[in-house]
């Protein structure tokens, strides 16, 4: 049911994006909640390593509860991470339990260094739906080069221990991913094979090997956009301000889940309800620029690779039927949201 709710919202918000809507956009399918803005590693590809210009702290349960109470039954998917390592927050399992009690799909990304046996049991028992270990293996040399201050053997042991505890409990959840990035010139298949070999003595996981996602100091200095991608100018409308929102540990709301430094602040949960922020003046102004592909007016977004993406050509077996389904999802979701603004 959670997946269906998420899919319907994604379809509705895609329809809103395609229509170039600025106001009255259906509420997002996903919210990122920054349970901690601290981290115990200094990963070479992460802006946390250079500092994010904010006080290091963990979200208090009272703040978290106020957020969930506003969106329960509306936003179906909750990602309990943003800039930091979520396991640094001792209330993380309590957060997961509160979401689970409110029938919300919850997921976390962790570097695995703090995944003790007790933490594993607590998260599984709390009803966590999805857990991704940002591992970056499969070799110790590669892992330590990318994840400065980590402990390769400890992390491998923690991941295996988590999977064994999950097996002993006969738990279907959480869906467990062991994730690694690959650089240009590296073989995705070789890394996948290495991960499967390293974790061959445990079960109940999937590998997820993805291209390097370079987080520069600020998005306006991004090195990810290739020169050949720029020749046609801005070609895409970003889906993020139509489908996601993010809340910092202190309640500050930003429009992009890649914004760790408060470049796209659109409101504050302490002063304005979250659902009102979604279509408030700053958000409408941002959507207007993005819908018009005026990324040059948004320094944070001006070099983001999403802005230069070519529209995907999607081959569907029943394109007309899919278009009608998307339209129906938009109308149904919009009606259901109308009384909640």
155, 113 contact by CB (below 8 A): yes
Q: Which pTM does this prediction carry?
A: 0.92
| Distance (Å, whole) CA 120 – CA 129 | 13
What local confidence, expressed as pLDDT, does residue 46 receive?
A: 87
The arrangement of strands across the sheet holding 175-182 comes to 206-211, 175-182, 130-134, 105-110, 77-79, 30-33, 244-247, 252-254, 265-268
Average pLDDT score over residue span 257-271 = 95
135, 179 contact by CB (below 8 A): yes
In a domain, 5, yes or no: no
What local confidence, expressed as pLDDT, does residue 340 receive?
A: 72
What local confidence, expressed as pLDDT, does residue 225 receive?
A: 58
CB atoms within 10 A of CB 47: 19
Asked if residue 2 has pLDDT above 90, the reply is no
SS3 assignment, position 244: strand
Would you place residue 309 in the very low, low, confident or very high pLDDT band (cuts 50, 70, 90)? confident
Q: How far is CA 189 from the centre of its chain?
A: 25
In a domain, 322, yes or no: no
| Distance (Å, whole) CA 122 – CA 112 | 15
- DSSP state string for 121-183: HHHHHHT--EEEEE---SSHHHHHHHEET--HHHHHHHHHHHHHHHHHTT---SEEEEEEEE-
| Distance (Å, whole) CA 212 – CA 222 | 13
**Largest CA-CA distance found in the chain, in angstroms, rounded:** 55
What local confidence, expressed as pLDDT, does residue 220 receive?
A: 55
Q: What values do phi and psi take at 50, rounded to 5?
A: -95, 0
* CATH of residue 253: 3.20.20.70
| Distance (Å, whole) CA 8 – CA 333 | 8
In a domain, 255, yes or no: yes
What local confidence, expressed as pLDDT, does residue 236 receive?
A: 87
What local confidence, expressed as pLDDT, does residue 341 receive?
A: 61
Asked if residue 217 has pLDDT above 60, the reply is no
Q: How far is CA 136 from the centre of its chain?
A: 18
In a domain, 101, yes or no: yes
Measured at the CA of 259, the angle between CA 255 and CA 263, to 5 degrees, comes to 80
Asked if residue 159 has pLDDT above 60, the reply is yes
Asked if residue 226 has pLDDT above 70, the reply is no
Domains identified in the chain, total number: 1
What local confidence, expressed as pLDDT, does residue 234 receive?
A: 84
| Distance (Å, whole) CA 279 – CA 185 | 43
Give the residue from 252, 240, 213, 254 showing the smallest Cα distance to 295.
240
In a domain, 293, yes or no: yes
What local confidence, expressed as pLDDT, does residue 213 receive?
A: 58
In a domain, 81, yes or no: yes
Of 37-41, 95-99, 213-217, 304-308, give the lowest mean pLDDT range: 213-217
Q: Containing domain of residue 139, as a range?
A: 26-315
Average pLDDT score over residue span 201-220 = 78
DSSP 8-class letter at 234: -
In a domain, 186, yes or no: yes
Asked if residue 283 has pLDDT above 80, the reply is yes
Would you place residue 261 in the very low, low, confident or very high pLDDT band (cuts 50, 70, 90)? very high
């Amino acid at each position: 049911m959670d997946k269906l709710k998420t899919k319907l919202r994604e379809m509705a918000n895609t329809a809103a994006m395609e229509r170039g809507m600025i106001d009255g956009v259906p509420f997002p399918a996903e919210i990122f909640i920054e349970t901690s803005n601290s981290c115990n590693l200094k990963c070479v590809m992460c802006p946390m390593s250079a500092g994010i210009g904010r006080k290091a702290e963990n979200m208090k349960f009272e703040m978290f509860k106020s957020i969930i109470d506003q969106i329960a039954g509306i936003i179906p998917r909750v990602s309990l991470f943003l800039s930091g390592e979520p396991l640094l927050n001792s209330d993380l399992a309590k957060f997961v339990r509160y979401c689970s009690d409110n029938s919300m799909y919850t997921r976390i990304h962790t570097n695995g260094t703090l995944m003790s046996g007790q933490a594993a049991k607590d998260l599984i028992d709390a009803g966590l739906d999805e857990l991704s270990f940002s591992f970056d293996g499969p070799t110790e040399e590669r892992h330590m080069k990318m994840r400065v201050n980590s402990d390769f053997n400890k992390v491998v042991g923690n991941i295996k221990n988590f999977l064994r505890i999950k097996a002993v409990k006969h738990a279907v959840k959480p869906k467990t991913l062991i994730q690694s990035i690959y650089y240009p010139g590296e073989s995705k298949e070789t890394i996948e094979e290495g991960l499967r070999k390293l974790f061959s003595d445990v079960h109940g996981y999937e590998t997820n090997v993805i291209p390097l996602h370079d987080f520069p100091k600020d998005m306006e200095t991004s090195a990810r956009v290739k020169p050949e991608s720029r020749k046609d100018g801005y070609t895409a409308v970003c889906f993020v301000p139509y489908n996601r929102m993010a809340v910092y540990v202190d309640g500050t709301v930003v429009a992009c889940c890649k914004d760790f430094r408060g470049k796209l602040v659109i409101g504050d949960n302490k002063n304005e309800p979250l659902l009102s922020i979604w279509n408030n003046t700053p958000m409408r102004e941002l959507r207007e620029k993005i819908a018009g592909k005026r990324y040059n007016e948004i320094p944070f977004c001006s070099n983001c690779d999403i802005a230069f993406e070519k529209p995907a050509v999607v081959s569907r077996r029943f394109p007309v039927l899919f278009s009608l389904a998307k339209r129906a999802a938009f109308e149904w979701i919009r009606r259901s949201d109308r009384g909640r603004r």
